Amino acid sequence: MTRTRVVVTGMGCISPLGNDVESTWRAALSGTSGVDFITLFDASQFKTRFAAEVKGFQPEALLGRRDARRMDRFTQFSIVATRQALEDSGLEISDANRDSIGVIIGTGIGGIGTLLKETEKFLARGPRWVSPFMVPMMLPDGAAAQVAIHFGLRGPNMAVVTACASSANAIGEAVETIRRGAAQVMVAGGAESAIVPIALAGFNTMDAISKRNEDPKRASRPFDLNRDGFVMGEGAATLILESYEHAKARGARILAEVSGYGTTNDAFHISAPAEKGAGAALCMRIALQDAHLQPTDIGYINAHGTSTRLNDASETAAIKTVFAEHAHQVPISSTKSMTGHLLGAAGALESIFCIKALQEGRLPPTINYETPDPECDLDYIPNQARQASPRHVMTNSFGFGGHNASLIFSHPEASIRP
């Protein structure tokens, strides 16, 4: 039986590189860093004093004062990114179709900013001062729920929480929802806003993030020998997914096909990747099998590439395991070198980069790549964007807890076997 094909018809994002897809993509192609010193709070007493913040975001102007005040920042990002994606898709929502449109938004942490703010009020003034909106604002399902409410979408709805794999899993599970016939259209992606003191302190004490305070824009350096940890980022990205038949029937512009999805768990360690990237390798293999593709069909990989010592080496090993000799021919980049690590929103933003690469035939670089690491010896597209014409591209997302997710996007003109 031929399975339902799922295509992308709209995209939207809020990122450290720009507050829409076009500005974000142009900044990525130019090798712009979105990293700078933290302005959201006073970070002068922290070991790390920089992050990749969203700039110039005005929630009250975009959402109205009342709604903005009742949403955590990660939810605000998601609403705006979804609005962009829906406008990009040309999809009109009405009583005739809203029951068949669902939402899956991933987040690694949810409304931690709200939780911190209300905890401070509780400790300073007592329980009566805690906001009645605290609970719905802090819950991880806040973005998925508010997107549904805001746009009137009554189909399947949920939040995915798999740490830094959350939004890649959200897209993959949305694809599966359409494939099984539970929805014709899915709004899928991720949102995160965890640049707050308690989260920064936690990552600092784990020794997981860079401390390159003397040169923040060069701090995120995936695969480089002198990498010293990831850089926290924030933002949101949303894709509009439809069954191919639904998109074709309404004359939608098809941006790409989601041809493969794989997800696994390392079952190894709560924060460290499995040795030689075994779980990641299995995940990539499953995605290739799902897409009915061979490793040699993949023309670009957007790597998880966090700029941590263990992740970059294990992902490189996993790619070598799956791609064999082709591992040294396939171009790879980590756009986290520019955006920082958007945690639960990373996979969705990186999916947009993959789709834009298919559309425009240009591959974004890995900036700050200066000193090769003998353990990381593949083609990481160092420092300059590259012309190419990939037909199929892969993006990887791996999270604390051993969560792995891989997605494959294909050019709409590529021949996909049923």
- Enzyme catalytic residues: 164, 304, 341
CB 110 within 8 A of CB 138: yes
Closest to 88 (Cα-Cα) out of 239, 257, 251: 239
CB 49 within 8 A of CB 268: no
The span from the CA of 197 to the CA of 410, in Å, is 40
Amino acid at 347: G
Other beta carbons less than 10 A from residue 162's beta carbon? 27
For 52, the token pair is: 């990749």
Q: What are phi and psi of 289, to 5 degrees?
A: -65, -40
Torsion of CA 292, 296, 302, 306, to 10 degrees: 110
Q: What are the E-state strand segments in 317-358?
A: 332-333
Tallying the residues shown for the chain, one arrives at 418
| Collapsed DSSP state (helix, strand, coil) of residue 14 | strand
For 72, the token pair is: 């955590």
The DSSP code for 164 is B
DSSP string of 50-99, one letter each residue: EEB---S--HHHHH-HHHHHTS-HHHHHHHHHHHHHHHHHTPPP-TTTGG
- The shares of helix, strand and coil residues in the chain, as percent rounded to the nearest 5, are 40, 20, 40
DSSP string of 18-53, one letter each residue: BSSHHHHHHHHHTT----EE--SS--TTSS--EEB-
| Collapsed DSSP state (helix, strand, coil) of residue 381 | coil
Other beta carbons less than 10 A from residue 217's beta carbon? 17
Q: What are the E-state strand segments in 254-318?
A: 256-265, 300-302
